[in-house]
Amino acid sequence: MPPAAALLPDAVSLRWRLLRRILGLGFLGLVSGCFTFHREPPRPGRTTLAAPTVNLSATTVSNYLIIDAKWDRRGPYHFLIDTGASVTLVSPDLAARYGGKNPFPPDTPMVRVKSAEGDTALLPPTLLHRLQLDGARFEDVQALVYDFSALSAHLGVKIDGILGFPLFRETILTLDYPHSRVVLERREGRKPAVGATILFNNDRKTPIIPLRLGDQTFAALIDSGSDAGLSLNPVGLQVEYAVAPRPGATVGTLTSDREQRIGRLAATLMIGPCAVQRPVVDVTDELSSLGGGILRNFIVTFDQAHSHVTFQREGSAPIPAEPRRSAGLSFTKTPAYWRVASVIAGSPASAAGIQPGDLVTRINGESVQKWDFRRYDLLLATATSIEFTFLNGAQETAQRIAVFDLVP
């Protein structure tokens, strides 16, 4: 089953986050019905670090850290590290290049991936004999093969793989968001990380930690594969909202779409001793998760051998949660145009009569070919309005749409 086309902001990153969860990454055995994978979670083969510490430079795209790696003449390759993922995904090209002599028998069944909504897809397994991240070498890496072309187009970076959490079992993994880098370290002789250390004590070595919301405690997955801040399942919690949840962008599954619900909490979120004031939340019926929108404030160090994670940041002042801004539109992207996938009810875009299916050819007078996720995201953060040029038959018509605070 081919993956659904991804949506562009306001919805692209949230759509990928939902799609990633539907593919079961990070929810293996944790949420009933979210993932069907009739094997043990894949463990890495041999891991070798050329030095006690390997520093990997990264590019920040939205709230993702994307690392570059070049170990052959066809690179560089680009990877996301997803601490919410229990498997690694690689592109068909990378699988063909480094998993060519696949040890799986010809009749090995593909892995059936099942969503909470019952959607299923089949992904072929592979075994990469080599995956090199500068001075870090991973051999015999079990993975699933997935086509990232839609995600790559929207992020503006060719994605070659999503590296799951188990790949780093043999190392200390640090996601240094403030300095846009990833650090891998040998465990032997390493000094303990500085900061607030929290246990994620479970038999699958999954980074699910306790968080506090006011005087209540709940469990959340540390999910670097999501660019959201806090996705909250309110079941079992007494939740008070400073801004009640309202419809947001459309986010998609493998076979259908759902409307996001975004609000702002009245209480302070505590990550150990670190406070996030009145965070904006995506209300979900899945496992609660802590994504890049909040993680970006920290240096986050994972020690899987001892089942703990350490959060470090400069200063002790509470982290403010910025407003969630929107133009009221979600898009699917093609090289020639962006198609409106949904319009937020009550938004200026809705009042202007824009309808799902409308085609956008220009943004602020420039062809959509010159716009990617990063540039459009920056525009949303700063603009008071955006001019969209719509294609009506053979005619182009420009409309200026106000950007507003979806969640003040």
Q: How many domains does the chain have?
A: 3
What pLDDT is attached to residue 257?
Answer: 62
What pLDDT is attached to residue 254?
Answer: 44
pTM, 2 dp: 0.86
Asked whether residue 37 carries a pLDDT value surpassing 50, the answer given is: no
Q: In this structure, are residues 213 and 265 in contact, taking their beta carbons and an 8 Å threshold?
A: yes
The Cα–Cα gap between 363 and 390 comes to 9
More confident residue, 327 or 190: 327
Q: Is 349 helix (H, G, I), strand (E, B) or coil?
A: helix
The Cα–Cα gap between 283 and 259 comes to 11
| Pairing between β-strand 64-69 and β-strand 366-367 as defined by DSSP bridges | unpaired
What pLDDT is attached to residue 119?
Answer: 58
- DSSP sequence for 202-214: -TT---EEEEEET
Are residues 365 and 224 part of one domain?
no
User: 378 burial class (0-12, 13-18, 19+ CB within 10 angstroms)?
Assistant: exposed
Per-residue burial over 113-126, b = 16 or more CB atoms within 10 Å of its CB, e = otherwise: bbbbeeeebebbbb
Run of H or E residues at 259:
strand 257-265
CATH of the domain at 29: 2.40.70.10
Question: pLDDT band at 124, cuts 50/70/90?
Answer: confident
Residue 2 inside a domain? The answer is no
Residue 195, sorted as left (phi over 0), alpha (psi -120 to 50) or beta, turns out to be left
The sign of the torsion formed by the CA atoms of 64, 260, 328, 405 equals negative
Are residues 130 and 38 part of one domain?
yes
Domain with 392 in it: 324-407
Which of 185, 213, 238 marks a domain boundary?
185
Q: In this structure, are residues 357 and 341 in contact, taking their beta carbons and an 8 Å threshold?
A: no
The 10s digit of each residue's pLDDT in 125-143 is: 899 999 999 999 999 999 9
Are residues 262 and 333 part of one domain?
no
Q: In this structure, are residues 227 and 240 in contact, taking their beta carbons and an 8 Å threshold?
A: no
Are residues 220 and 155 part of one domain?
no
Residue 288 inside a domain? The answer is yes
CATH of the domain at 373: 2.30.42.10
What pLDDT is attached to residue 350?
Answer: 94
Question: pLDDT band at 116, cuts 50/70/90?
Answer: very low
The Cα–Cα gap between 248 and 245 comes to 9
Tokens standing for 138? 């991973």
Q: In this structure, are residues 325 and 340 in contact, taking their beta carbons and an 8 Å threshold?
A: no
Which of 185, 214, 241 marks a domain boundary?
185
Asked whether residue 105 carries a pLDDT value surpassing 80, the answer given is: no
Tokens standing for 318? 């509470």
Identify the weakest region by mean pLDDT among 52-66, 241-255, 310-324.
241-255
Asked whether residue 44 carries a pLDDT value surpassing 60, the answer given is: no
Are residues 281 and 335 part of one domain?
no
Are residues 204 and 149 part of one domain?
no
What pLDDT is attached to residue 79?
Answer: 97
The 10s digit of each residue's pLDDT in 69-104 is: 999 988 899 999 999 888 899 999 999 999 866 555
What's the chain's average pLDDT?
83
Side-chain half-sphere of 159: how many Cα atoms within 13 Å? 27
What pLDDT is attached to residue 62?
Answer: 80
Are residues 375 and 230 part of one domain?
no
Residue 300 inside a domain? The answer is no
What pLDDT is attached to residue 357?
Answer: 92
Among 23-37, 187-201, 339-353, name the most confident range.
339-353
CA dihedral 38, 122, 331, 321 (to 10 degrees): 10
Q: What is the mean pLDDT of residues 302-314?
A: 94
Are residues 171 and 29 part of one domain?
yes
Identify the weakest region by mean pLDDT among 27-36, 167-176, 214-223, 282-291.
27-36
Are residues 96 and 240 part of one domain?
no
Are residues 333 and 235 part of one domain?
no
Residue 299 inside a domain? The answer is no
Q: In this structure, are residues 247 and 261 in contact, taking their beta carbons and an 8 Å threshold?
A: yes
Give the C-alpha distances (Å, rounded to integers) separating 5 from 11, 151, 336. 12, 8, 15
Tokens standing for 85? 């993922």
What pLDDT is attached to residue 247?
Answer: 87
The Cα–Cα gap between 297 and 293 comes to 8
Asked whether residue 188 carries a pLDDT value surpassing 50, the answer given is: yes
Are residues 164 and 41 part of one domain?
yes
Which of 320, 337, 360 marks a domain boundary?
320
What pLDDT is attached to residue 14?
Answer: 34
Residue 306 inside a domain? The answer is no
Residue 354 inside a domain? The answer is yes
What pLDDT is attached to residue 110?
Answer: 74
Tokens standing for 237? 């919690």
Question: pLDDT band at 8, cuts 50/70/90?
Answer: very low
Asked whether residue 197 carries a pLDDT value surpassing 90, the answer given is: yes
More confident residue, 116 or 85: 85
Q: What is the CA radius of gyration of the chain?
A: 21
Tokens standing for 180? 């846009």
Amino acid (1-letter code) at residue 302: F
Q: What is the mean pLDDT of residues 198-209?
A: 86
Are residues 380 and 264 part of one domain?
no
